[in-house]
Chain A
Amino acid sequence: MSARWLDDVPSRGLLLLLLLLAALILIPAFANDYLITVLILILYFAYVGQAWNLMMGLAGQLSLGHALYIGLGAYAAAALYVHFGISPWIGLWASLVIAAAAGGVIGFLAFRFGVAGVYFAILTIAFAEFARLAFDHWPWVGGSAGFFLPVANYARNDLLNLRGSPTMFYYLLLAMTAGAFLLCHVLLRSRAGYYWLAIRESPDAAQALGINLFRYRMYVVVLSAAMTSLGGVVFAFYYNNLFPEQVFHISRSIELILAPIIGGIGTLFGPILGAFLLTALAEGVGEVMRAIGLDVPGVKQIFYGFCLLVVVMFLPDGVWPPLAKALRLDGKPSQDRSGC
């Protein structure tokens, strides 16, 4: 049986995608530690950006509180590991369930009571803030003093407990990013994908065509929350420390939506491209500033702001759609979605 999910993928796009994947698989053999840490950051933002994009880009539900799901995922898996020695591979199921439940509660409140648009976004911020304050005062996970995972020098990578070298995390995130991309690709071509796009474009028309708005909005929020929480699990085991003031902070929520916005909201490749552009350029600017002896704090944030401004002014659809057109990857006439 032919793979149906490849149906309308332009072969050039598939080829380029496989080349990119191959390059990313081979890079650690040549890269130094610094480059690996930058790439980890890129893949992290590509992954959580994709999860956010599912909700905003495909279904039009603006969340400005995705740090909530990062934090819940991070704390759940980390607490199970530290307190009970439970492997993060088991702990991540707790993260998924808890984040999905949180997404479900927010979605239920919003969609049952008709909270939409900006007010929905405010609701998501509010829940992230609740969580930040709650975790600040929860001694079991360290409160505001922070929660720490045991750190030691490991002779070998312990994949089972996610203890090991940055390279291990790099490959883990690469697999997650590729998996998220593939999942979104398949979802887009499913009933749910069509319904989400319809809801994004016009909820009234979507409902008149038989779409249960509440149900399909709930699906996307819960799915996005669960996906995001896995990013949190990796975050916890990679950085080994969690502070509510950082993990749940609104700046985290904003940070993770930049990649899809700059790459192209609603496109599958946008979050990946955006993460590359933003992180690589921000690191580059940081390096240059250090090199010329101007170590200004906050230069990265200013740079993010500048990038956002440029994209919003000149490329309101993000960088990917025009680039895809230039590369003629926006598809044969037989298919219509940007993002191969």
Chain B
Amino acid sequence: MASPARIAPGASVAALLEISGVSKSFSGLKAVQHVSFNVAEGEIVGLIGPNGAGKTTCFNLVAGVYRPDAGEIRLAGKRIDGWRPDQICRAGLGRTFQLVKPFAGLSVMENVVVGALNQSPSVRAAKAISASIIEQLGLEAKRHEPAGALTLPDRKRLEVARALATGPRILLLDEVMAGLRPTETDRMVSLFKDLNARLGLTILMIEHVMRAVMALSRHIVVLHHGQVIAAGTPAEVTRDPAVLECYLGEDAL
């Protein structure tokens, strides 16, 4: 297993994403309550928890789909809660959707070009960026196929490709490993490791595939009933009795 967190205590790693005291209710149902955690620049953080814990709601709050009822969200120091998703994307946050939303009638290439236009001045430049990202994700054989014809694992890859193409500083991944075979998971894991190491890409990921979470995350935040019940290194979190009880189960690892 990858060596757990080595961020020296007190090391002043600037938080790229700061979530403080964020709450959101849907007609009385408290989906997220007073959630606070930070994602430091260059870090990979896993967000885990049982189904219905509020993980995706958390993502949607950060990405601007919902406006928080309370609390603050900062990206690189700037308050972004209340911004629209496109503004947040342009500020440097890319996200994937748990229920993939490919542009079904467009080709894989065109899908990624739409994302790449966020960071490039011309269509021609966007195409060049897209070609390299498509290759990194192993989609080059399918670049001209309509996205609607892809298998689920390929759609997941396309989600990642599109989000990466926007040129984000921080990438929000919502269960991109779900449905992948172990070898495909390993490939995706090594891609994210590489992007993180080479480009310093910061990643916040919701993931149920513990194999991937453990391999990637230096920090893990555990949500349950909309609240953070544990946070720390993978080793700490997996020993936490509360986490074991509500999510991992006695023999999960």
Residues of A within 8 A of B (CB): 4, 189-191, 194-195, 197-198, 200-202, 204-213, 266, 333-336
Contacts and interface: CB of A to CB of B under 8 A. Distances in A.
Contacts of B144: 333-336
Given A194-B114, A207-B85, A333-B144, A201 B97 contact: no
B89 A210 contact: yes
B116 to A, nearest CB: 9
Given A202-B101, A212-B86, 6 more contacts: A194-B123, A197-B106, A201-B106, A207-B89, A209-B165, A210-B166
A202 B97 CA distance: 12
B162 interface: yes
Interface string B153-189: 0000000001101100000000000000000000000
A35 to B, nearest CB: 37
Given A189-B123, A194-B123, A204-B101, A209 B115 contact: yes
Contacts of B102: 201-202, 205
B79 interface: no
Interface size classification for chain B:
20 to 34
B217 interface: no
A212 B90 CA distance: 10
Contacts of A333: 144
A12 B109 CA distance: 23
B63 A208 contact: yes
A189 B114 CA distance: 11
Given A209-B166, A210-B166, A202 B118 contact: no
A10 to B, nearest CB: 14
B188 to A, nearest CB: 20
A197 B114 CA distance: 9
Interface in B63-120: 63, 65, 84-86, 89-90, 94-95, 97, 101-107, 109-110, 113-115, 117-118
B50 interface: no
A189 B126 CA distance: 12
A196 B114 CA distance: 10
A204 B64 CA distance: 11
A198 B106 contact: yes
B117 A191 contact: yes
B97 A208 contact: yes
A190 B115 CA distance: 14
A195 B101 CA distance: 15
B104 A209 contact: no
B109 A336 contact: yes
What 7 pairs across the A-B complex have the smallest Cβ distances?
A201-B103, A210-B118, A210-B89, A336-B107, A205-B101, A198-B114, A207-B85
Most chain A CB inside 10 Å of its own CB: which residue of B86, B101, B115, B165: B86
A215 to B, nearest CB: 9
A217 to B, nearest CB: 12
A213 B86 contact: yes
Contact of B114 (A195, A266, A335, A336): A195
